[in-house]
Every structure is written in structure tokens, then in C-alpha cells.
Amino acid sequence: MLKRKYYFYFYFYFIILLIGFVLSISSCKNQYDDVYQAQFYVFGTLVGISIWGVPEEKASQAVNIITQDFQAMHKNWHAWHKSLLTDLNQALASGKVSTATQLLPLLKLAKLYSRQSDGLFNPAIGQLIRLWGFQNDDFSENLPPPSAEKIAELVNLAPSMNDIQINGEQVYSTNPAVQLDFGAFAKGYAVDLAIKKLQKLGINNAIINAGGNLKAIGKKGQQPWFIGIRHPSGTGVLAALTIKGEESVITSGNYERFHEYNGVRYSHIIDPRTGQPARGLTSVTVIDPNGALADAASTALTIAGLQDWHRIARQMGVKYVMLVDEAGIVYVNPAMAERVQFDPKNKPQIVVSQPLK
Ligand code: ADP
Ligand code: MG
């Protein structure tokens, strides 16, 4: 009898303790502790959005707005389907003056980053990109490379962002060979705009990831956002890092868009000096608060290669760079080395450069 009573009190106190414990946890938990997640397909890539700290309804409304914004950008900036950009390209080729109000911010940034990268980032080489078959919705085709004569012809015409003249809202080109393609920084710029829109909507903790081009703000509760950088092989994660405040992490790689012909892989990043696809690096990651800059820089550094990336990174003013070469060796500046974490069981060889300053 006594034993039974003893058990009863024991269970009673245990249950009271348990309820108290659960209540104390839920009271210190944020009301909207779950991360709201959504995905949609645009820019030929999957866009993922994670939002923390707001009611589900507010998050889902924001995702709808961002989806529409992305679709509008896709339509306005498309380099081969009819868009504001293809209209502008037609005018540039025929020497006409256009009013390109909606494209002006992109044009001005393109001119700046092109100058800072010594023309390695050169969105005026649309004709070369098309010649290599990269203005294409379908990448499954095994296309042969274009002829050396055709490549040389376009390289000699030397289209550059310096040929684009901007006068108020009016735009024209002094070189009819200029055809704009914003593919190298459109996604970085798009995530900048999308994050700005979320902030306007009162959302201050989020990640927007457009196919390896991401921007994050705030935190996930008490924890900073922790993100992975895709392995250049196309599967798995190469490294991970935590986000500090508002930052973009942009990776240019040749695992998604490339052509293969006779066993040779041709990258979709073209060296404007030679008209040939960039070789040597399989992945370049740049972190910067400015997504458009990080994206332009990741493309420019892919072309700059191991010899020249440090100089170009300094000229562009980026502070965190990671490059991977064809042998899988990872090159980082010291500030990046401090931030990036590798799987200890699968750690690559790492070479740390001089500081970028
Ligand atoms: P991803 O699309 O994988 O993020 P990038 O940001 O490097 O890769 O952009 C590659 C795209 O940029 C190409 O598909 C092409 O449209 C365009 N492009 C290729 N070479 C250059 C270049 N030298 N300068 C500017 N744009 C380029
Ligand atoms: Mg880029």
C-alpha cells in the first residue's frame, strides 16, 4: 500500500515538473520560430527563399511578391528571348539612341565593374556568348566549338562597356558589335533587389538563393545563418560558413552550364581577350555585402585565373575570395581562410594568399 502511494507522488511530481519544463521552453521560444521556406524556378535556375521570424501568412505574401519581381526581371533582362534588353541590343547594333530607363542601373554597374576588372567582366560580348552556344535554353546538346575565324572576327571587333554612352536616360553605342548579356551579374543584382524588397516588407531575417548566388540578412533566431558552398563536381558541399549581417555569397562554377565535345568541357565564362572559354578554375566564390559586385567579381576572377585573381580582386574591392582549380586545390585570401569551414574527413589542400587589403 505504502509503495503504491509513493509511486503516485513520484509520478505526480514528475508530471508537474515536465509540464513546467515544456511551458518554460515554449515561453522563451519565438512565436514564429520555424523557418518559412519556398522555392520557384526562374532565370533557368531554382530560387530558394528562407524567412525567419514573421507569421507564415506574411512570409508567404512576401514570397509571392518576390516571385513576381524575379519573373519581371527575367523578362526585362533576357538576352535571347524578346525583352527590354533584346530591344536595346537591336538599337545598339543599328547605332540608334534608346531610352533605357529600366536598364540604366544595370548598365551603370556593368560599366563600373567592367572598368574595375580590366574588361574581364565584359557584358558587351553577347555575340561571343551566342557564338559559343550559351544563349540557349537547352544545354544537353554536345555542340562543337565555333571556328577560330569566327571567334577572331568577334574578338577583333572588341565590343566593350566603354563603347556604351549614357546621356541622362539616353543610351547608344559607338561600336555596333556591342550586344549586352547580363548573365554574369544579373542573379547577384536580383538577390540584392529581392532582399531590399523583403526589408521594405518588414522582413529582416532571410536568405534568397538563386542557384548558388545567395544573399542573407539577419539571423535564424539566436543563430547566424549557416550556408554551404557547392562542390565544383556539382554534388555535395565543398565548404560552409556563417553569414555576418547582410552578405552575398556568390559562386561561379562550370558544373551547371557548359558544353562538352569530344571529352572537353567548355565553360560558359568567356575570356573577352581570346574569345575562348575560361580554363583552369572550376569554381570561384566571392562574399560581399553587394551581390551584383560579388557576382561580377566571381566571373572576372574565373577569367583572371591563378596568375591574376589577386590583383583583379583588389581592384574590384572585394574582401573574401575562394578559388578551386582543376586539381581540386583551394586558394583563399587570409580573411576568407578564417571564415570558411571544411569537412575534416574530406579536407582539400588549401593555399592561403597574401591579404587582399
Ligand atoms: P553563373 O550563371 O553560373 O552564376 P556567372 O555569374 O559566371 O555564372 O555568369 C556566366 C554568364 O555570364 C554566361 O552564361 C554568359 O551569359 C555571361 N558571360 C560569359 N563570359 C562573360 C564575361 N567575360 N563577361 C561578362 N559576362 C560573361
Ligand atoms: Mg558571376
Query: 274-330: per-residue pLDDT in tens?
Result: 999 999 999 999 999 999 999 999 999 999 999 999 999 999 999 999 999 999 999
Provide mean pLDDT across the span 187-208.
98
Q: Write the residue with the smallest CA distance to atom 16 of ligand 1.
A: 183
Q: Candidates 299, 301, 303: which one to mutate for ligand 1, based on the most atoms within 8 Å of Cβ?
A: 299
Q: Which amino acid is at 50?
A: S
Find the 31 Cα to ligand 2 centroid distance in Å: 38
From the list 40, 84, 85, the residue with the least C-alpha distance to 66 is: 40
CB 294 within 8 A of CB 188: yes
Q: What is the pLDDT of residue 263?
A: 75
C-alpha cell at 354: 597574401
Where do runs of H (alpha helix) occur along 178-269?
A: 186-200
Q: Write the residue with the smallest CA distance to atom 7 of ligand 1.
A: 299
Find the 253 Cα to ligand 1 centroid distance in Å: 10
Q: Write the residue with the smallest CA distance to atom 19 of ligand 1.
A: 269
What band does 248 get if pLDDT is binned at 50, 70 and 90? very high
Provide mean pLDDT across the span 60-64.
98
By mean pLDDT, which of 98-112, 183-197, 243-257 is the weakest?
243-257
> For the chain, what percent of residues have pLDDT higher than 70?
89
pLDDT over 60 (residue 19):
no
Provide mean pLDDT across the span 145-171.
97
From the list 150, 173, 171, the residue with the least C-alpha distance to 160 is: 173
**pLDDT tens-digit profile of 106-149?**
999 999 999 999 999 999 999 999 999 999 887 666 778 999 99
Give me the sign of the Cα torsion angle 52, 53, 55, 57: negative
- Which H or E run includes 237? strand 237-242
Q: Write the residue with the smallest CA distance to atom 3 of ligand 1.
A: 252
Tell me how far apart the alpha carbons of residues 306 and 351 are, in angstroms, rounded to a whole number: 11
Q: What is the pLDDT of residue 22?
A: 41
Strands 350-352 and 330-332: parallel
Please tell me the pTM assigned to this model.
Answer: 0.90
From the list 219, 214, 256, 263, the residue with the least C-alpha distance to 235 is: 256
Tell me how far apart the alpha carbons of residues 219 and 204 are, in angstroms, rounded to a whole number: 8
CB 310 within 8 A of CB 301: no
